[in-house]
Copies of this chain bind each other. A is one copy, B any other.
Amino acid sequence: MNTSIEKLLEAAGLPDNFDAFLRRVMKTLRGSDASGPDAALALIIAPGENTPGFDLAENFTLEEHARLLEISRGKRKLPEELISAGIDGAGTGGCLLARPGAGRERAAVKRLLTAAAKAISGRLSYEDRERLLTRERDTADATTHLEEVFLSLPEITMEEASRTVLDEARRLTNSPFGFAGHIEPATGHLHIPTLTDNVWKDCRVKKKNFIFKEFNGLWGWVLKNKKPLLTNTAAADPRSGGVPAGHIKISSFLAVPALAGENVLGILALANSPAGYNKADLETARKLARVYSLILKNKLAESRKAAEEQKYRSLLDTLNDLVCNLGPDGRILYVRKRNEITEAFGGSDLRRMRGATNEHTGGL
């Protein structure tokens, strides 16, 4: 007993991962004098928001094991011959169960199980916190990567930026499908250059470069309401619909708008994560969508600058012809005051010119 508890304490301090820690605890209990070598042992933990489940039974029959699972869910009463100690932490729980070996003292086994269960509960909470923090760290690394790409490649296109955002989002949320698209300011249409390649392998919709003029279904709801959406029962969601015929079946869906204040710049959407989506996935998508917003805002400012330049330049190009003609030595370009020109042309000349110009421009 004494040695077992010491071993448990040692296990608690080792840098094992969660699974290895639980197996080490089971091994310690199995080797304990208190329960005996012929004892039956089980450790069952339900999956939590950020922690995996665990289920290991030794010296129990398959049938007994099935009953233990029901006991651990509170659906069946604990048989008298079994001893149990509850595990609780990180919004989930489970239990350690034992049938002591022949002639063993039940109180000693209970004490050992209770000590182990407390250590496991502590580790469960720690595991939950660490996994959440690690996920946040991975997300921060992904946004860092996106920012780096965008800052170091000034010529990156909207399409490449969208694809990079989508790649990171799919990786972090374990999503087989997704898209990242931006709203074209001139038209208000959604441009999606980044539908995952495997969408198209699995999907019989022919047209592969989408421009959406109307916003339908789940993603349409996100764009119209400027709010994120998370559902693990996508097909049954009343907001669903509008999926083109031949499209892949969507089971779980997570989408976040890329906003700048009240302006919708784009959308990041993910689908069909095998385990469904949770709060941590939503937070990840939010953070990536925020960086996506920054990139889109930047790209829009750049393209507005280019459009502005183009607009004025084409006007000037037209006008330069006129100016150069007036001053073939180039000097007249520097004329700044209206009076100088009117005086230069003189009253009667101005009248003549006006008539001539009207004639030559066809009365436009």
List residues of chain A with CB under 8 Å of any chain B CB. 1-2, 5-6, 8-10, 12-15, 111, 115, 118-123, 125-126, 129-130, 133-134, 136-137, 139-140, 143-144, 147-148, 150-154, 259-261, 287, 290-291, 293-294, 297-298, 301-302, 304-305, 308-309, 312-313, 315-316, 318-319, 321-329, 331-332, 334-338, 340-346, 349-350, 353-354, 356-358, 360-361, 363-364
Contact = CB atoms under 8 A, between A and B. Distances in A.
A259 B151 contact: yes
Nearest to A1: B2
Contact of A118 (B9, B150, B328): B9
Given A9-B12, A151-B297, A261-B152, A345 B361 contact: no
Contacts of A293: 147, 151
Contacts of A148: 290
User: How many copies of this chain does the complex contain?
Assistant: 2
A324 B338 CA distance: 9
A119 B13 contact: yes
Given A144-B287, A290-B147, A313-B312, A12 B12 contact: yes
Contact of A312 (B130, B151, B291, B316): B316
A350 B345 CA distance: 10
Chain A binding surface, main DSSP class: helix
B290 A121 contact: no
A318 B312 CA distance: 13
Most buried by B among A302, A316, A322, A344: A322
A123 B126 CA distance: 11
18 contacts: A5-B6, A12-B13, A12-B122, A13-B118, A136-B140, A147-B290, A147-B293, A147-B294, A153-B261, A315-B316, A321-B341, A325-B338, A325-B345, A331-B358, A332-B354, A341-B357, A345-B356, A349-B353
Nearest to A337: B321
A335 B357 contact: yes
A269 to B, nearest CB: 19
Contacts of A360: 335, 340, 343-344
B260 A154 contact: yes
Given A130-B130, A151-B297, A326-B357, 16 more contacts: A5-B9, A9-B119, A12-B12, A12-B119, A154-B261, A301-B301, A316-B319, A318-B336, A321-B337, A322-B326, A322-B338, A325-B345, A331-B357, A331-B361, A332-B357, A344-B357
Nearest to A133: B133
Contacts of A325: 338, 341-342, 345, 350
A140 B318 CA distance: 51
Nearest to A344: B356
A232 to B, nearest CB: 25
Contact of A294 (B2, B12, B133, B150): B150
Contacts of A301: 298, 301-302, 305
